[in-house]
Amino acid sequence: MKALKQKNKGNHFKILSSKIVHKNPYWYVVDNRVIRPNGSKGHYYIVHKKDGIVIIPLTADKKNTYLVRQWRFAVGENAWEFPMGGFEDGETLLAAAQRELREETGITAKKWTKLKLLKQAK
């Protein structure tokens, strides 16, 4: 795991140093010491997360979808959301989506369509 994964195209920050300051099995935090575009020095923290998937399961008639109710510790309440999760080692995108849908809803799907690959802003 590298502390800095940044392309310089369009980057108006000068990076003085980059260091991982926290790491766990799900994400890690990088503290970048920088010179900002206005010339001031500071820190720019980036949280790097593992890739994940979100499933938008439609009913057979395509008029409804399935949501799951999950307790979210960070907001202190239950949230209604699409089934989602992470990848297991060596798992393909489709296999991860199929597993997460089955684990979280108990249903399976006959047809799968990849909609979009999204990059997190971190």
Domain count, the chain: 2
pLDDT of residue 52: 86
Domain that includes residue 40, residue range: 14-49
Non-local (6+) Cβ contacts of 28 within 8 A are 1, 20, 22, 47, 48
Residue with tokens 């690959």: 117
**In a shared domain, residues 62 and 18:** no
Q: What is the mean pLDDT of residues 64-71?
A: 96
Q: Residue 7 domain-assigned?
A: no
Q: Where are the beta strands (DSSP E) in 36-83?
A: 41-49, 52-54, 68-72, 77-81
**In a shared domain, residues 33 and 61:** no
pLDDT band at 9 (very low <50, low <70, confident <90, very high): low
Q: Residue 115 domain-assigned?
A: no
Is pLDDT at 2 greater than 60 in this prediction? Answer: no
Say if residues 67 and 57 touch (Cβ distance below 8 Å). Answer: no
